[in-house]
Amino acid sequence: MEKVSLRDAYGDTLVKLGEQDERIVVFDADLSGSTKTSKFAKAFPDRFFNMGIAETNMMNVAAGMAATGKIPFVSTFAIFGTGRAWEAVRQTICYPNLSVKIVCTHGGITVGEDGASHQALEDVANMRNIPNMRIIVPADDVETEQVIKAIAYTEGPFYVRLSREKFPRIFDKSYKFKLGKGIVLREGEDVTVVANGVMTSFALLAADILEREGISIEVIHMPTVKPIDVELLVESASKTGAVVTAEEHSIVGGLGSAVAEALVENYPVPVERLGIPDVFGRSGKGWELLHYFKLDEKGIIEKVKKVLERKR
Amino acid sequence: MIRFEPSFFTERNRDIDEATLSVIAREVRKDILKMTSAVNSGHPGGAMSATDIIVTLYYYKMRHNPEDPKWEKRDRFVLSKGHVCPALYSVLARTGYFPFEKLNEFRRIDGDLQGHPDMRKTPGIEISTGSLGHGIGAAVGMALALKLDKSDSRVYCMIGDGEAQEGSVWEATMAASHYNLDNLCVILDNNNLQIDGPVDEIMSIYPMMEKWRAFGWHVIEINGHDFGEIKAALDEADTVKYKPTMIVAKTVKGKGVSFMENRAEWHGKALPPDLLREALKELGEIV
What are the residue ranges of helices labelled H in B57-207? Answer: 85-95, 135-148, 167-178, 199-202
Å from A111 to nearest chain B CA? 27
Of B126, B148, B171, the CB nearest to A67: B126
What pLDDT, on a 0 to 100 scale, did the predictor assign at position A1? 83
Amino acid at A260: A
A70·B129 Cβ contact <8 A: no
* CA–CA gap between residue B51 and residue B189 (Å, rounded): 10
E-assigned strand segments in chain B: 76-79, 155-160, 184-190, 193-194, 197-198, 218-223, 245-250
A57 shares contact with chain B (CB less than 8 Å): yes
Fold exhibited by the domain A3-168: Rossmann fold (3.40.50)
- Mean pLDDT along residues A102-107: 98
The Cα A306–Cα A308 span in angstroms is 5
Tell me what pLDDT residue B285 has. Answer: 87
Task: Please report the number of interchain residue pairs, chain A to chain B, with beta-carbon separation below 8 angstroms.
Answer: 109
Sort out which chain A residues have CB atoms less than 8 A from B130's CB and list them: 91
Written as one letter, the residue type at A78 is: A
The residue of A57, A76, A84, A86 whose CB has the most chain B CBs within 10 angstroms, and thus the best one to mutate to test that interface, is A57
Q: Which residues contact B236 (CB under 8 A, 6 or more apart)?
A: B220, B245
CATH of domain A183-311: 3.40.50.920
Half-sphere exposure of A15 (CA within 13 A, CB side): 13
Asked if omega into B207 is within 30° of 0 (cis), the reply is: yes
Residues in chain A: 312
Q: Does A155 touch chain B (CB under 8 A)?
A: no
Q: Which residues of B touch A69 (CB under 8 A)?
A: 145, 149
Parse chain A into domains and list their residue ranges.
3-168, 183-311
The interface predicted TM-score of the complex, written ipTM, equals 0.97
CB nearest to A60's CB, from B138, B146, B167 = B138
Residues in chain A closer than 8 A to B139 (CB atoms): 64
pLDDT 10s digits, A45-74: 999 999 999 999 999 999 999 999 999 999
Q: What is the DSSP letter of B240?
A: -
Under 8 Å between Cβ of A14 and A40? yes
Please count the other Cβ atoms lying within 10 Å of the Cβ belonging to residue A107.
29
> What is the four-CA torsion angle of A265, A266, A269, A270, rounded to 10 degrees?
-40
Q: Which CATH architecture has domain B19-282?
A: 3-Layer(aba) Sandwich (3.40)
The one-letter amino acid code at B106 reads: F
Terminal CA-to-CA distance of chain B, rounded, Å?
17
Q: Are A51 and A58 in contact (CB under 8 A)?
A: yes
| Consecutive H or E run containing A194 | strand A191-195
Query: What is the torsional sign of CA A25, A29, A31, A33?
Result: positive
Asked if the bond preceding B44 is cis, omega within 30° of 0, the reply is no
From residue A57, give the alpha-carbon distance in Å to each of A27, A63, A85, A175: 11, 10, 8, 37
The amino acid occupying position A109 is: I
Range B97-110 burial, b when 16+ CB lie within 10 A, else e:
bbeeebbebbbeee
Residues of A identified as active-site: 55
CA-CA distances (angstroms) from residue B183 to A148, B9, B169, B234?
32, 19, 18, 12
Measured in angstroms, the CA of B122 and the nearest CA of chain A are apart by 11
Mean pLDDT calculated for residue range A280-308:
98
Residue A77: helix, strand or coil by DSSP?
strand
Interface test with A, best of B132, B142, B146 (most A CBs within 10 A): B142
* For A94, nearest residue in chain B (alpha carbons): B128
Q: What pLDDT, on a 0 to 100 scale, did the predictor assign at position B125?
A: 98
Distance from CA of B141 to the nearest CA of A (A): 4
Query: CB B137 to CB A59 under 8 A?
Result: yes
What residues contact residue B238 under an 8 Å CB cut-off, 6+ apart? Answer: B154
Spacing of C-alpha B62 from chain mean position = 12
Q: What is the band of A90 on the pLDDT scale with cuts at 50, 70, 90?
A: very high
User: Would you give per-residue pLDDT tens digits along chain B (287 residues)?
Assistant: 889 999 999 999 999 999 999 999 999 999 999 999 999 999 999 999 999 999 999 999 999 999 999 999 999 999 999 999 999 999 999 999 999 999 999 999 999 999 999 999 999 999 999 999 999 999 999 999 999 999 999 999 999 999 999 999 999 999 999 999 999 999 999 999 999 999 999 999 999 999 999 999 999 999 999 999 999 999 999 999 999 999 999 999 999 999 999 998 999 999 999 999 999 999 998 76
- CA of B112: how far to CAs of A244, B53, B85, B125, B128, in Å? 45, 24, 13, 12, 13
Please determine, for residue A312, whether its predicted confidence score (pLDDT) is greater than 80.
no
Q: How far is CA A126 from CA A164, A196, A264, in A?
A: 19, 17, 22
**Residues B8 and B59 sit within 8 Å (Cβ to Cβ):** no
CB contact under 8 A, B131 and A70: no
Partner-chain contact A97 B120, CB within 8 Å:
yes
DSSP B102: G
Taking each continuous run of H as one helix and of E as one strand, the counts in chain B are 9, 7
Q: Name the residue in chain B with its Cα closest to that of A63.
A: B138
Q: How confident is the model at residue A210 (pLDDT cuts 50, 70, 90)?
A: very high
Give just the sign of the alpha carbon dihedral B107, B108, B113, B116: positive
Nearest by CB: B141 against A64, A87, A91: A64
Contact yes or no for A60 and B144 at CB 8 A: no
How many whole angstroms separate alpha carbon A303 and alpha carbon B13?
71
If phi > 0 it is left, if psi is from -120 to 50 it is alpha, else beta; for residue B82 that is alpha
Exposure of A131 by Cβ count < 10 A (0-12 exposed, 13-18 middle, 19+ buried)?
exposed
B138 with A49: Cβ contact below 8 A:
no
Contact: A67, B174; criterion CB under 8 Å: no
- Per-domain residue ranges of chain B: 19-282
Span A27-49, average pLDDT: 98
pLDDT given for residue A298 in this prediction = 98
SS3 at position A95 = coil
Nearest Cα to Cα of residue A11 among A20, A33, A197, A63 = A33
CA distance A50 to chain B (A): 9
Gap between the Cα atoms of A168 and A202, Å rounded: 9
Is the Cβ of A68 closer than 8 Å to some Cβ of chain B? yes
CB contact under 8 Å between B127 and A92, yes or no, is yes
Q: Give B183's contacts in chain A (Cβ within 8 Å).
A: none
Put simply, whether A93 touches B (Cβ < 8 Å) is: no
Task: Quote the pLDDT of residue B287.
Answer: 63
Do the Cβ atoms of A70 and B148 come within 8 Å?
yes
| Chain A contact for B179 (CB, 8 A cutoff) | yes
Using a CB–CB cutoff of 8 Å, tell me whether A92 touches chain B. yes
Question: pLDDT tens for residues B246-261?
Answer: 999 999 999 999 999 9
Contact of B186 with B246, CB cutoff 8 Å: yes
Amino acid at site A92? T
CA distance B183 to B180: 9
- CB of B129 within 8 Å of a chain A CB? The answer is yes
Is there a contact between A201 and A185 (Cβ–Cβ < 8 Å)? no
Going through A55-182 in order, the beta strands assigned E by DSSP cover 71-75, 101-104, 134-136, 158-161, 167-168
Burial class (CB in 10 A: 0-12, 13-18, 19+), B145: buried
SS3 of residue B223 by DSSP: strand
Q: Is B151 helix (H, G, I), strand (E, B) or coil?
A: coil
Q: What is the mean pLDDT of residues A105-122?
A: 98
Mean pLDDT of A173-199: 98
Q: In chain A, what residues touch B142 (CB-CB under 8 Å)?
A: 64-65, 67-68
- Is 0.90 surpassed by the pTM of this model? yes
Cβ of B175 within 8 Å of Cβ of A51? The answer is yes
A63 to B130: CB separation less than 8 angstroms, yes or no = no
